[in-house]
Amino acid sequence: MRTLISIVAIVAGMTPAPASAAPLPEGSADHTAGSQILKHEGTGDLRADSESPPTEGKVPGMDVSSHQGDVDWKSAWDKGARFTYVKATEGVHYRNPKFTQQYNGSLNIGMIRGAYHFALPDRANGVQQANFFVENGGGWSPDGKTLPPALDMEYNPYGDTCYNMNQTAMTAWVKEFSDTVYARTKRYPAIYTSTNWWNKCVGGSVKFGDNNPLWIAHYSSRLGALPAGFDFHTIWQWQAAGLFPGDQNLFNGRFEQLQRIAAS
């Protein structure tokens, strides 16, 4: 049966999920952007009260999930946050129950916001997860207020670091997801990842940086090396906690540039 499923998926042009994926734990957790990176790579030289990296010419922002509950968006705005990513989905089984309050609330206070998907590549192929994401908050419109949809690629919360997939299979999975989001929204998704995880599990056989903005996770006062296939970064998640609810981010440019990314 598994062989037949694989043949059908290949004929349909999709990469089948590995057959070795274990069942999800009952009541599986809501994993956030960087939760597994923090677990595996630590906080570097940073503490919650650390000074931020140089912010001149940058735009401060944040990212949130259900863990933050109903976010006080006015407070975050008053403290200087100007953009946010909100978790929408995970795999093909989880929708953020706080998504509406977080996604609409950030917009209503004046922030530029976007949605992200926590990938579980061994649970379903890239097409299936991209469709689930787009249909549950991961859309995009050229309104100057919506960031590109984002794909969160990081350490497996349930087992093998690379989800029992080699670099060729993982690269194909990411490309499937990216191409499907583009077909449905006319916008390539940003890719959230860490350099260590990406270089180990995906590699540089495809230069995703040609189309996909990079949202890099690196908890340090200095950015460090970028993942293979990317020449520059768009957003840097530099701290897992701090001034704003959720993770702390910096957009690599001025607010006017951030607006342009949200409009084209």
Q: What is the spatial distance between Cα 39 and Cα 82, in angstroms, rounded to a whole number?
A: 27
3-state secondary structure of 120: coil
Active site includes 49? no
Eight-class DSSP state of 141: -
Active site includes 247? no
| Nearest of 246, 242, 245 to residue 76 by alpha carbon | 245
Q: Which of 41, 90, 154, 176 is catalytic?
A: 154
Q: Which of 41, 63, 122, 176 is catalytic?
A: 63
CA dihedral (54, 56, 58, 59) positive or negative: positive
Query: Which H/E stretch holds residue 258?
Result: helix 255-261
- Count how many Cα atoms sit within 13 Å of the Cα of residue 7 in the half-sphere of its side chain: 4
Residue bearing tokens 């299936």: 128
Active site includes 154? yes
Q: Which of 122, 152, 176, 247 is catalytic?
A: 152
- Residues designated catalytic: 63, 152, 154
